[in-house]
Amino acid sequence: MPERISPADVAHVARLARLDISDDEIELFAEQLAAVLEHADDVAALETAGVPVTAHPIPLQNVFREDVERPSLDRDEVLAMAPAAEDGRFRVPRILGEAP
Amino acid sequence: MSPPPSPPSNTAPSPPSNTAPSAVETAAAVRAGTRSARQTVEQHLEAIARRESDIHAFNTVLADEARAAADAVDHKVAMGQDPGPLAGVTVALKDNMCTRGIPTTCSSKILEGWRPPYDATVVERIVRAGGIVVGKTNLDEFAMGSSTENSAFGPTRNPHDVTKVPGGSSGGSAAAVAAGFASLAIGSDTGGSIRQPAALCGVVGMKPTYGLVSRYGLIAFASSLDQIGPFAATVADAALLLEVIAGHDPLDTTSIPESGPRLVDQLSQGVDGLRVGVVQELMNGVDADVAARVNEAADALSAAGAKVDTASVPAAIYGLSAYYLIAPAEASSNLARYDGVRYGLRVPGDDITSTYMRTRAAGFGAEVKRRIMLGTYALSAGYYDAYYGQAQRVRTLIIRDFTAAYEHFDVLLSPTSPTTAFAFGAKSENPLAMYLSDVCTIPSNLAGHPAISVPFGAGDDGLPVGVQVMAPALGEPVMFRAAAALERGAPGSSSAATAAGR
């Protein structure tokens, strides 16, 4: 059975999930997530050797369509809803460490 | 219409409301030209003006748009054109359905002010069928919750008792129908988000077979579980709306390649000889008054000719735990797209990573953060197999147990929710207690099966009780027949009708 989730685990997971969280939130979430995971111990403890996983409840085979050109969303309409856009593209903060 | 018979003591109460006809009656009258769509819309807008400030069912009311759409329907009728099967019928849309040019928020600050560049397939189908969209309804943020208390824009109140929650996550849609703000509503159901609020608000709410209704334009929460479905005051009205929205859509790769079922004209066929099983595992831990209504519902079906017995779905007891690993895991992946780049909120940071982290911290509420972290944890190295993998195996066990039960039964019966509507704040500090609200509805989501909640009398507190009918995949026709029989056998003839003030 997995070990109880610690505040350090919560801080690590928040980092993975790209969530800035406060120390108070870390304490609260550690407690609340532990309660949910404890409830899930019954599932974690079940004997399931040989049972296949279900990822999708209704089995569908690969879905294909004809490779035909069709209109896509209007670029200006899409960019109008972005926090920042420039020259027909999404504008983001710099992603590399060095100065521009 | 004749007034309903005077109700016995366990009949659900009637909130003050309009006296609108059903959706089936409205569409027939508008198509025949004996009633105008505009008149219907004005009646619902009046109901909204009267009570919306107390209920808060909507994030956005579309009064002008609804009037214009109604006039267009009336014009079609005047020109002798077919206005469609939903002609002049008002519909409220959960605010996680994309509507072109109209704010679609998921009741989250991270999407506040966002106007989608396209319509969801269900929206297109409703509008093409002559339905009139009156507004976008409130929900628990990103459909995560069972009370609408997690909305960033404040909770919705239960029209039967404004000190109680309407359920969730589609609480605004359920309340809109219960209060007579719209004849019909659309919700989404990942773990019970249509059926539980329907039960708590005394209306009909239904989750279709996974893949029956296109999810193109539904903002994703947990993609292997999410389904769109109808709310209505009556079973027939819910069937009418499902007929309109069901059927294959090439824009959704999980869409089943079949046309939708015919339902409305089969509802009167009855349940003579139908095999009905009451699921014992889902009666445990349920309030005594709710369990009593379920047993009375079974008796009502028996009196209508069904063969009722107890049924067992042993693995259903693991449903809640499995769900609260699978749904957060999928949510943590689906919600990675809210990064402040393409739409919605951006809180600038020093670099791209701190922009992501600040944006998401400011934009998401506590429950959404909790589920993203739970899901990220369940998927992380060292825990993946113990939690997520194991939950997916449990899902297989639940499907096997349902399959075994359906060898003996045509439909299964259970409570929809273990309790009637609860007070604000009663569970909001304890996530696990809130999650337990979904214990009876979750198994159908994990199996991908259809299920419907039908109002059946009231609890000791006088608030509505919902009874759930479940069926195997694509079992909608038989499930709706059983639901219609339940409605006919409910105390006071139909608590669904009395909830809408009829």
User: Which of B215, B231, B276, B310 lies closest to B485 in space, CA to CA?
Assistant: B276
- Would you call B389 and A53 a contact, using CB atoms and an 8 Å cutoff? yes
Each residue of B15-62: pLDDT tens digit? 434 456 999 999 999 999 999 999 999 999 999 999 999 999 999 999
Contact between residue B22 and residue B233 where contact means Cβ atoms under 8 Å apart: yes
Helices (H) and strands (E) in chain B, counts: 16, 11
Write the residue in B350, B353, B361 that is nearest to A21 by C-beta.
B361
Write the residue in B210, B324, B342 that is nearest to A57 by C-beta.
B210
Separation CA B339–CA B124 (nearest Å): 28
pLDDT at B1 over 80: no
**Would you list the DSSP string of A22-52?**
-HHHHHHHHHHHHHHHHHTHHHHHS--TTPP
Q: Find the largest Cα–Cα distance for chain B.
A: 70
Mean pLDDT of A25-44: 92
Residue of A1 and A30 predicted with greater confidence: A30
Mean pLDDT of B440-463: 98
- Would you call A18 and B353 a contact, using CB atoms and an 8 Å cutoff? yes
pLDDT at A97 over 90: no
Name the E strands within B347-500.
411-415, 451-458, 464-470
- At A81, the pLDDT band (50, 70, 90 cuts) reads very high
Domains in chain A: how many in total? 1
- Chain A partners of B431 at a C-beta cutoff of 8 Å? 32, 35-36
> How many Cβ atoms are within 10 Å of B396's Cβ, its own excluded?
18
Looking at the domain assignment, is residue A67 inside a domain? Answer: no
Closest residue in B to A98 (Cα–Cα): B351
Each residue of A15-31: pLDDT tens digit? 999 999 999 999 999 99
- Chain A partners of B393 at a C-beta cutoff of 8 Å? 46, 48, 51-54
**The pLDDT value given to residue B478:** 98
- Chain B partners of A82 at a C-beta cutoff of 8 Å? 341-343
Could you give the residue numbers annotated as active site of B? 94, 169, 193
DSSP 3-state of B91: strand
- Would you call A13 and B386 a contact, using CB atoms and an 8 Å cutoff? no
- Chain A partners of B389 at a C-beta cutoff of 8 Å? 53
Find the helix or strand (DSSP H, E) in which B362 lies.
helix B352-363
Name the E strands within B178-319.
184-189, 204-207, 227-232, 275-279, 307-311
Each residue of B219-262: pLDDT tens digit? 999 999 999 999 999 999 999 999 999 999 999 999 999 899 99
Write the residue in B357, B397, B432 that is nearest to A20 by C-beta.
B357
Each residue of B128-174: pLDDT tens digit? 999 999 999 999 999 999 999 999 999 999 999 999 999 999 999 99
Separation CA A51–CA B395 (nearest Å): 10
* Amino acid identity at A91: R
The topology (CATH level 3) of B23-313+400-499 is: Amidase signature (AS) enzymes (3.90.1300)
Write the residue in A13, A18, A65 that is nearest to B250 by C-beta.
A65
- At B10, the pLDDT band (50, 70, 90 cuts) reads low
Q: Minimal Cα–Cα distance from A72 to chain B, Å?
A: 10
Separation CA A82–CA A72 (nearest Å): 17
For chain B, the structural domain boundaries read 23-313+400-499
pLDDT at B442 over 60: yes
Range of the domain at A11: 7-45
| Angle between helical axes of B288-303 and B476-489 (0-180°, round to 10) | 100
Pairing of strands B275-279, B411-415: parallel
- Chain A partners of B376 at a C-beta cutoff of 8 Å? 13, 16-17
Write the residue in B345, B353, B390 that is nearest to A44 by C-beta.
B390
User: Which of B133, B134, B136, B131 lies closest to B73 in space, CA to CA?
Assistant: B131
Please classify residue A74 by burial: count the beta carbons closer than 10 Å to its beta carbon, then call 0-12 exposed, 13-18 middle and 19+ buried.
Answer: exposed
Q: Minimal Cα–Cα distance from B77 to chain A, Å?
A: 33
The residues, ordered by sequence, that sit 6+ positions from A64 with a Cβ below 8 Å of its Cβ are none
In sign, the C-alpha dihedral spanning A31, A34, A38, A43 is: positive
**The pLDDT value given to residue A96:** 75
Both structure tokens of B302: 């028996």
Identify the bridge partners of residue B455 per DSSP, sorted by sequence position. B466
- Would you call A1 and B386 a contact, using CB atoms and an 8 Å cutoff? yes
Q: What CATH number is given to the structural domain containing A24? A: 1.10.20
Separation CA B111–CA B104 (nearest Å): 7
User: Which of B148, B136, B138 lies closest to B367 in space, CA to CA?
Assistant: B148
Separation CA B441–CA B416 (nearest Å): 6
DSSP character at residue B260: P
**The pLDDT value given to residue A99:** 54
Closest residue in A to B474 (Cα–Cα): A58
- Would you call B395 and A53 a contact, using CB atoms and an 8 Å cutoff? yes
- Stretch among A1-10, B208-217, B276-285, B458-467 having the lowest mean pLDDT: A1-10
pLDDT at A42 over 60: yes
Alpha helices in B226-287 (DSSP H): 235-245
- Would you call A51 and B393 a contact, using CB atoms and an 8 Å cutoff? yes
Each residue of B321-369: pLDDT tens digit? 999 999 999 999 999 999 999 999 999 998 999 999 999 999 999 999 9
Separation CA B24–CA B168 (nearest Å): 26
Looking at the domain assignment, is residue A20 inside a domain? Answer: yes
- Chain B partners of A9 at a C-beta cutoff of 8 Å? 377
**The pLDDT value given to residue B484:** 98
Each residue of B357-406: pLDDT tens digit? 999 999 999 999 999 999 999 999 888 999 999 999 999 999 999 999 99
**The pLDDT value given to residue B19:** 54
- At A98, the pLDDT band (50, 70, 90 cuts) reads low
Identify the bridge partners of residue B232 per DSSP, sorted by sequence position. B184, B204
- Would you call A43 and B394 a contact, using CB atoms and an 8 Å cutoff? yes
User: Which of B247, B189, B195 lies closest to B452 in space, CA to CA?
Assistant: B195
- Chain B partners of A37 at a C-beta cutoff of 8 Å? 374, 377, 387
pLDDT at B2 over 60: no
Write the residue in A5, A57, A63 that is nearest to B377 by C-beta.
A5
**The pLDDT value given to residue B20:** 67
Separation CA B287–CA B271 (nearest Å): 28
Identify the bridge partners of residue B160 per DSSP, sorted by sequence position. none
Q: Minimal Cα–Cα distance from A67 to chain B, Å?
A: 13
Contact between residue B40 and residue B90 where contact means Cβ atoms under 8 Å apart: yes
Looking at the domain assignment, is residue A2 inside a domain? Answer: no
> How many Cβ atoms are within 10 Å of B114's Cβ, its own excluded?
19
- Would you call A39 and B432 a contact, using CB atoms and an 8 Å cutoff? yes
Percentage of chain B exceeding pLDDT 90: 90
- Would you call A54 and B392 a contact, using CB atoms and an 8 Å cutoff? yes
Separation CA B475–CA B450 (nearest Å): 7
Looking at the domain assignment, is residue A24 inside a domain? Answer: yes
**The pLDDT value given to residue B170:** 98
Pairing of strands B90-94, B184-189: parallel
- Would you call A19 and B435 a contact, using CB atoms and an 8 Å cutoff? no
Please classify residue A1 by burial: count the beta carbons closer than 10 Å to its beta carbon, then call 0-12 exposed, 13-18 middle and 19+ buried.
Answer: exposed
CB pairs under 8 A between A and B: 173
Looking at the domain assignment, is residue A23 inside a domain? Answer: yes
pLDDT at A78 over 50: yes
Alpha helices in B79-191 (DSSP H): 121-128, 171-178
Mean pLDDT of all residues belonging to chain B: 94
Residue of B265 and A98 predicted with greater confidence: B265
Long-range CB pairs of B43-50 (<8 Å, 24+ gap) are B43/B18, B44/B18, B44/B20, B44/B90, B44/B134, B44/B180, B44/B181, B44/B182, B44/B183, B45/B134, B46/B18, B47/B17, B47/B18, B47/B179, B47/B180, B47/B181, B48/B134, B48/B135, B48/B181
Find where tokens 């069904």 sit: B306
Alpha-carbon dihedral B55, B152, B196, B23, rounded to 10 degrees: 50
B215 phi and psi angles, rounded to 5 deg:
-105, 10
Closest residue in A to B385 (Cα–Cα): A44
Looking at the domain assignment, is residue A50 inside a domain? Answer: no
* Amino acid identity at B365: G
